[in-house]
Amino acid sequence: MPDSETRTAMRKRHLQAHEDALADIVIEPWIGGTSVSGSEPIPTRDPVIDEPITAVPVCDDELVNQAVQVAWDGFETWSDRTPTDRSQRLSEWVDVLEEHLDELALLECLDTGKPLSEARGEVEGALRTLEYYAAVARTQQGSQIPAQGDLHMYTRMEPYGVVGQITPWNFPAWAAAWKFGPALAAGNCSVLKPSAYTPLTTVRMAQLSDGIFPDGVINVVTGGGSTTGATLTEHEGVRKLSFTGSGSVGQEVMQTAAARIAPVTLELGGKSPLVVFPDANMQTAVDAAAAGVYYSTGEICDALSRAIVHEDVHDEFVDRLVARAESYTLGDPLDDETTMGPLTNEDQFETVSDYVTIGRNEGATLVTGGTAPDDRALADGHYVEPAVFTDVEPDMRIAREEIFGPVQTVQSFETYDEAIALANDTEFGLAGGVATESTDIAHQAAADIDAGVVYINAYGPIRPEGPYGGFKESGIGHDLGRAAVEQYQQPKTVYVNLDSPEI
């Protein structure tokens, strides 16, 4: 492993490469098929050394209004396109994005702090999502309803028009595809606001749509949630809202939309359980627990952050999980040997650090991790070593509140009913996991866990074909699957009264 001085030198070389890669890319809002200048640029910061990467303009009320207006102008053209044409345009966009895969992966890595291999995989996931909706666009259809001899009834699905979409900072490229794909396939035009922390990939994806879609179909407005985001959610011209982020902001979005009876899709927080039954393959269970909370540095909405383990295998599970946690290599995300990068921003670093302190003060045992690494070359970055807490009680804050970082809590159970009660003892319901070799237990637990997604013997994978959404305070509606397209459309029933046939 390189020493601190060597790592610092490597980072400087990487930063120079970053500057070269960004030299010809102008990161500005994309409105009406062109880049536009905003006001008061704010920096997007490198989470490895906490220095600015570039500055991104803020869209004020005037620019958001402009984006909504040009989106409605574009809708006049886009809504007349056939599903086949919409499919072709989405496929063309995927082809262009594929040609720029390395560039997009680099931007994703720089902005979020993910290891480059993870960033590349997530951009590829974004492309596969758009590819799926290109296929789905062709298969949309209404239905005929049997009525009576002189009455013909049918339904047609119509887009809302202009939709407002807000994505989080943890999976910027993938989240953008989750929003753009079904909305465009359904015939809508989009005004999307990415997180101010990680806007680079989303803006670049929009720029790479140039000449493929009619002007105004895709628009990206940049800025903060309380400014640009608030203007977008309050805009009378936005007919539907889709938001991914925290529960508190999701409530605000829902309340704002309610004032004008606009429908919402909300994908919010989680505190997802992984139930490990005594017959589970321990390697499989630990793999799921580690991937479920340490992938992407734990900044995952559906993180399996509560391991609920049968008492007979509890100690073995903890020993194996601790060994796995201590095996991660923290470092520069562009180093091939790095397996965990920094948290994406300073605020999240402080939040995770605070929760580690809270857990210890509550009486839980911090078995490993939870602090910044000793490596001086990483001192300026937002790094936290993967943590494991044991002796965790259900009423502890670390067992109930979303930490959004690489912190795994471990609880134990004796009976099946106790395990399910612990799993469901949360206000959230985004995801859950089960580790068992029993098919019967797997399917029964999947049915009993109160969550929108359940993973058996693994964390993920998330596929675009499957609806993704939460129960309880984890959200309303779905991203992904055909269900997402349906939520970007309104059914219209048509009654055709036929003349009585002459005899």
What residues contact residue 15 under an 8 Å CB cut-off, 6+ apart? 46, 49
Q: In DSSP terms, which residues pair with 220 in a beta bridge? A: 30, 192
Residue with tokens 């035009």: 189
Give me Rg for the CA atoms of the chain: 24
Q: Are 40 and 57 in contact (CB under 8 A)?
A: yes
Active site residue 267: yes
Note the helical H segments in 139-210. 172-185, 200-207
Phi first, then psi, for residue 381 (nearest 5°) are -95, 170
Which of 103, 108, 267, 402 is an active site residue? 267
C-alpha 24, offset from chain centre: 28
Q: How far apart are CA 464 and CA 475, in angstroms?
A: 18
Residue with tokens 């269900």: 483
Q: How far apart are CA 47 and CA 13, in angstroms?
A: 16
Q: How far apart are CA 253 and CA 248, in angstroms?
A: 9
Which of 301, 385, 402, 473 is an active site residue? 301
- Beta strands 151-159 and 489-497, pairing class: antiparallel
Sequence-distant contacts of 453-461: CB under 8 A, at least 24 apart = 453/302, 455/288, 455/292, 455/304, 455/431, 457/280, 457/281, 457/284, 457/285, 457/288, 458/284, 458/287, 458/288, 458/291, 459/287, 459/288, 459/291, 459/292, 459/295, 459/304, 459/433, 460/291
What residues contact residue 194 under an 8 Å CB cut-off, 6+ apart? 167, 169, 172, 176, 202, 203, 220, 222
- Specify the amino acid at residue 393: E
Q: How far apart are CA 411 and CA 275, in angstroms?
A: 10
Residue with tokens 């993920």: 460
Would you please indicate which residues are annotated as catalytic (active-site) residues?
Answer: 267, 301
